[in-house]
Structure 1
Amino acid sequence: MNYKSLLAFANAIVLSLTATYGQITETPKVEEQSAEYVKIKRVELTDQYTIVYMQFVEKQSSALKEMQPFLRRMPDQQFQMPSTSTISLDPETRLYKPGEVNVKFKLIKAKDIPTEMRKKVNPGEVVDFVAYFERLTPGIEIFDFYEGRATKGQQTWNFYGIHIKNPLKKTGKTTAKVVPKVEKPVQPLVEEKKEEEIEAKPTVPEEELVMIKGTVYDSKTKNPVPAQISYLEKGDSLQYKSSSGNYRIGINPKEKYDFKVFAKGYYGSNFSLNAADSAAKGSFVKDFYLIPLTVGETISLPNIYFETSKYTLLTESYAELNRLADMMRENPKIKIRVEGHTDNVGDFDKNLELSTNRALSVKTYLINKGIDEQRIEAKGFGATKPLAKNGSENEKRKNRRVEFVITQI
């Protein structure tokens, strides 16, 4: 047998063994992830496991970096590098087939990272660890890694859209054609049955999840923008950061959620979701279009409510007003003019007075939230700036509104 024939023969054997025992994907493509300091280095599929090789890099402050040369010259007993973080892998971590939350694969074990306690990590330290999951069903070549819900301020490591090599199994006939002269044992039928059982297992979940996903856009350009989405779950404040504007969050279908969307340089948005009250099953799609903060921009405050014919704010207005206060705290140089408007029903002068007092009520609320009164102007326009013709009740409702205009950045 010459050299070329021998090489071809060896390659055929390697290919046949790879098809039998699994696939390896180095540095797989990941569409989205919740934490930039954790990455997936490799995914290996064996007959028994989906093995995910990961790496955690503890961030080091710039002050500590500058001190490093000095600290190296000090005796160990005089200074000890502080531990700024602890890490662990939630034992409830799962792999999911995107869009099919009932198809999930359990965490079996982890290596070099604890699951029942937390491990201290020093600034700048690198931790390589491995997670073993149930074997992904052949044919699933994109999956999500969902660690779960953060508690007590801890951040979860979630990865969405992980691309790997996991083709459907080839039949024995196909293998025989590739390597006709190599005698390779055929997988016993009992093994195939185990594969089927693993595939069926996730369809009966211990706890169902509902996925909410979408994109955060610039309302003017319609381009995606980096954003942060925060929400509460069982008293814990959770955050999801997206550098691309795309997001995907797993939630409990039995709970109600209030989401806050924030992007630097934009006026944020709020969104409430009660999955149990919706006809949609499995997943929700919700896109956000945020208004850029520019001088002269008029932004509506749609959820501001007053007592009828009065300027007393109702409690239902507080969430919207808190969002405005948060924006002004995040942008301390911004100044605004709060504008009140009414429909054309009733006395002109009284409407003008009412709209002015309502604008002043909003200003007072913001001041009580710690915003400098010098940054807020309040003005009423009565019925002089209608959005609609005031012909129908719906048109009148549109004209009864509160807005703010950005006057300085």
Structure 2
Amino acid sequence: MNFKLLLVFLCVIGFSLNTSFGQVTDSPKVEEQSASYVKIQRVELTDKYTVVYLEFTERKSPSPQLYGFPQKLNPGSSQIWLDPETRLYKPGETDKKFKFIRAENIPTDPTRKRVTPGETVEFVAYFERLTPGIEVFDFYEGRSTQGQQSWNFYGVHIKNPPKNQLNKSAKLAPKAEEPIKKPLEPAVVPDTREPENTSPEFAVMRGTVYNAKTKQPIPAQIAYIEKGDSLQIRSSSGKYRIGLDPKETYDFRIAAKGYYGSSFSVSPADSASRSGFNHDVYLTPLAIGETITIPNIYFATSEYTLLAESYQELNKLADMMRENREMQIRVEGHTDNVGDFDKNLELSRKRAEAVQKFLIEKGIDAGRIEAKGYGGTRPINKGTSAEEKSKNRRVEFVITKM
């Protein structure tokens, strides 16, 4: 046999074996994940399946609470399982999903597998075969419910080239002449495809947590409430991705050591793209002299009694002062410049004192909190519209000691 022909023949054999046994990606790159104690060890693509090999390690002790959110049952629990509703998605295209088939060495809901602190469990999940060319996918177990943490992986990079690249090697093989065949009548094949899902099952919120001064990403904890359940994830890079129900509204808290946290609400349905949107967060570092506006502080018009809608934000401030026991602050009240100057000055002082009183009632030593009112003398916005003036009506605090 001609040497060159033999070489081509061996290449074709190698190609066919590779096609038969699929592509294997060891330790695939994962952009973000919801639980650090579960890792994807390998992804294998066979003729029929996408096989994901995972490793779970039960933590020896639960992590601390984040600004009052209760600790979830995972990690630190004694039972694990894999939700049979888990599926794979092409990022940003929630209609392209690949269903869960079966799992090995881990039960599926409602059964459970009991584990002990420090124990490691290796398990395998089988899904429908990813379409060739999809080289990045999301592993989505679901939105966590009843205090349980779902295992979601976003941006899993694998080897899965398009078919046209796979077929290039096949063209190297010499083709034998095929006998002439009589054309057959076209067979009627029933359409078994599922109808296109015009309403996405979830929307992906992605973003980065930054230092507001340096504009550099910082490690952070992202906590949110979904249908009464308190959930949290940690990001060592500051980047995050979270799957949300497009029909729900979420309350988020972002925290980072050495920074003042942020709170905000999100409604995926309000975004331009219901399947995904961005939300970056900027946190102010805790340092002497820093002035930080306290968001979501509400008073009745021309009054200084705190409304209940303010309590969540002030509780966060009290938690921060408990964590930083040497910190001292000056609470500052501000109004707009409409109305009597002296009355505005008094109103701003009483509003600052109302915040001071709240913190003292939460156990913060009175000697750590000073209160001052500046009326309309320190505007941050000099516009004349109602919206611009409203930004001048605010409560801030200045760090005077750390």
Alignment of structure 1 residues 330-369 onto 2, 5 Å: 330-369=323-362
Report the residue type matching 2:311 in the other structure.
Answer: Y
Write the distance in 2 (CA, Å) between the matches of 1:215 and 1:232.
19
Say if 2:249 is the partner of 1:256. Answer: yes
Change (3 A) 1:260 1:2: same
Say if 2:139 is the partner of 1:141. Answer: no
Residue in structure 1 matched with residue 19 of structure 2 by the alignment: 19
Determine if contact 1:153/1:236 at 8 Å carries over to the other structure. yes
Correspondence for 1:386 among 369, 372, 379 = 379
Determine if contact 1:16/1:175 at 8 Å carries over to the other structure. no
Alignment of structure 1 residues 118-197 onto 2, 5 Å: 118-170=112-164, 174-180=168-174
Q: Provide structure 2 residue ranges, at least 5 long, that are not aligned to the other structure.
A: 63-75, 178-187
Say if 2:291 is the partner of 1:306. Answer: no
The percentage of aligned residue pairs carrying the same residue is 64
Say if 2:82 is the partner of 1:89. Answer: yes
Corresponding residue SS for 1:332: coil
Corresponding residue SS for 1:351: helix
Write the distance in 2 (CA, Å) between the matches of 1:207 and 1:387.
41
Write the distance in 1 (CA, Å) between the matches of 2:144 and 2:268.
20
Report the residue type matching 2:145 in the other structure.
Answer: T
Superposed displacement of residue 106, structure 1? 1.3
Change (3 A) 1:365 1:22: same
Report the residue type matching 1:118 in the other structure.
Answer: R
Determine if contact 1:90/1:147 at 8 Å carries over to the other structure. yes
Say if 2:318 is the partner of 1:325. Answer: yes
What CA deviation, in whole Å up to 9, does each residue of 1:29-79 have, x standing for no partner?
A: 1111122221111111112110001111223369xxxxxxxxxxxxxxxxx
Superposed displacement of residue 386, structure 1? 2.8
Question: Which segment is superposed worse, 378-387 or 99-108?
Answer: 378-387
Q: Which has the higher helix share?
A: 1
Write the distance in 1 (CA, Å) between the matches of 2:385 and 2:268.
34
Write the distance in 2 (CA, Å) between the matches of 1:2 and 1:393.
87
Determine if contact 2:220/2:238 at 8 Å carries over to the other structure. yes
What CA deviation, in whole Å up to 9, does each residue of 1:88-119 have, x standing for no partner?
A: 11111111111112211111100000112111
Determine if contact 1:255/1:274 at 8 Å carries over to the other structure. yes
Change (3 A) 1:57 1:10: farther
Alignment of structure 1 residues 196-211 onto 2, 5 Å: 201=194, 203-204=196-197, 208-211=201-204
Write the distance in 1 (CA, Å) between the matches of 2:172 and 2:60.
52
What CA deviation, in whole Å up to 9, does each residue of 1:210-258 have, x standing for no partner?
A: 1111111111111111111111112111112111111111111111111
Question: Which segment is superposed worse, 389-398 or 224-233?
Answer: 389-398
Change (3 A) 1:169 1:338: same
Residue in structure 1 matched with residue 72 of structure 2 by the alignment: none
Corresponding residue SS for 2:218: coil
Report the residue type matching 1:40 in the other structure.
Answer: I
Count of matched residue pairs: 377
Length-normalised TM-score, structure 1? 0.83
Determine if contact 2:250/2:265 at 8 Å carries over to the other structure. yes
Question: Which segment is superposed worse, 295-304 or 344-353?
Answer: 344-353
Q: Provide structure 1 residue ranges, at least 5 long, that are not aligned to the other structure.
A: 63-82, 184-192
Change (3 A) 1:162 1:395: closer
Corresponding residue SS for 1:145: strand
Residue in structure 2 matched with residue 265 of structure 1 by the alignment: 258
Superposed displacement of residue 393, structure 1? 4.3
Write the distance in 2 (CA, Å) between the matches of 1:246 and 1:255.
23
Write the distance in 2 (CA, Å) between the matches of 1:297 and 1:256.
32
Superposed displacement of residue 171, structure 1? 8.5
Report the residue type matching 1:315 in the other structure.
Answer: A
Write the distance in 2 (CA, Å) between the matches of 1:256 and 1:302.
19
Determine if contact 1:387/1:398 at 8 Å carries over to the other structure. yes
Report the residue type matching 1:295 in the other structure.
Answer: I
Corresponding residue SS for 2:54: strand
List structure 1 runs of 4+ shifted beyond 6 angstroms: 1-8
Write the distance in 2 (CA, Å) between the matches of 1:336 and 1:171.
63
Superposed displacement of residue 202, structure 1? 8.4
Corresponding residue SS for 1:59: coil
Residue in structure 1 matched with residue 32 of structure 2 by the alignment: 32
Change (3 A) 1:129 1:2: farther
What's the RMSD between the two structures over aligned residues? 3.0
Report the residue type matching 2:97 in the other structure.
Answer: K
Residue in structure 1 matched with residue 50 of structure 2 by the alignment: 50
Residue in structure 2 matched with residue 286 of structure 1 by the alignment: 279
Write the distance in 1 (CA, Å) between the matches of 2:266 and 2:358.
27
Superposed displacement of residue 7, structure 1? 7.5
Corresponding residue SS for 1:399: coil
Determine if contact 1:49/1:135 at 8 Å carries over to the other structure. yes
Report the residue type matching 2:174 in the other structure.
Answer: P
Write the distance in 2 (CA, Å) between the matches of 1:389 and 1:174.
66
Alignment of structure 1 residues 65-104 onto 2, 5 Å: 85-104=78-97
Determine if contact 1:102/1:202 at 8 Å carries over to the other structure. no
Determine if contact 1:19/1:170 at 8 Å carries over to the other structure. no
Report the residue type matching 1:273 in the other structure.
Answer: V
